[in-house]
């Protein structure tokens, strides 16, 4: 019996030493197309095309298990996230684009699959914060279809960009 216990402790220690750690996956998208008819409106809704894109994003994420959805408090980001949140029965959590990827956020999202909806300037900035390097520049103002996928574990961080057409 002692031999089995020692073997169990040894195997457990070995697995721990291998540093098997969960991976955190972040999906970062910019809000869908906004209504640009009133140029002075700083918080516009999505336009018809934007609502259609938000639905396409919901379809894209249909078979991806998400643990959390974050969005800025703007109408267009919330409206982009809402169809996905509704499909996943998740509450949209707001984040401050001035205070991204802090220790609290990292702790709350560790080991999870997280969608983050932002803006043409904040989305690449958020990606760069996660990666710890200035890899991506601001998005083109007409780019509402790019998604950054970042995977983080203790050993490394990887990133790629995909397009939703």
Measured CA to CA, the distance from residue 70 to residue 131 in angstroms comes to 18
**CATH class of the structural domain 22-163:** alpha beta
Could you count the other beta carbons within 10 Å of the beta carbon of residue 101?
19
- Is 122:104 a contact under the CB 8 Å cutoff? no
Q: What pTM value is reported for the model?
A: 0.87
Q: How confident is the model at residue 165 (pLDDT cuts 50, 70, 90)?
A: confident
Domain ranges of the chain: 22-163
Q: In what order do the strands lie in the sheet with 24-30?
A: 92-94, 68-71, 113-118, 24-30, 146-152, 157-163
12 compared with 159, residue with greater pLDDT: 159
Predicted pLDDT of residue 14: 47
Give which of 165, 157, 145 is closest to 28, Cα–Cα: 145
pLDDT one-digit tens code per residue, 117-164: 999 999 999 999 999 999 999 999 999 999 999 999 999 999 999 999
Mean pLDDT of 29-54: 98
pLDDT one-digit tens code per residue, 54-103: 999 999 999 999 999 999 999 999 999 999 999 999 999 999 999 999 99
């Amino acid at each position: 019996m002692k031999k089995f216990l020692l073997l169990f402790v040894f195997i457990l220690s070995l697995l721990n030493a291998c540093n098997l750690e969960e991976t955190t996956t972040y999906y970062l998208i910019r809000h869908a197309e906004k209504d640009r008819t009133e140029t002075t409106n700083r918080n516009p809704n999505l336009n018809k095309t934007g609502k259609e894109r938000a639905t396409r994003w919901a379809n894209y994420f249909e078979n991806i298990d998400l643990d959390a959805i974050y969005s800025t408090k703007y109408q267009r980001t919330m409206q982009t996230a809402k169809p996905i949140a509704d499909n996943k029965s998740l509450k949209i959590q707001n984040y401050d684009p001035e205070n991204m990827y802090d220790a609290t956020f990292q702790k709350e999202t560790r080991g999870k699959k997280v969608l983050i909806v932002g803006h043409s300037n904040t989305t690449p900035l958020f990606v760069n914060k996660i990666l710890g390097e200035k890899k991506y520049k601001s998005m083109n103002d007409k780019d509402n279809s790019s998604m950054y996928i970042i995977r983080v574990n203790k050993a490394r961080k990887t990133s790629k960009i995909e397009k939703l057409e």
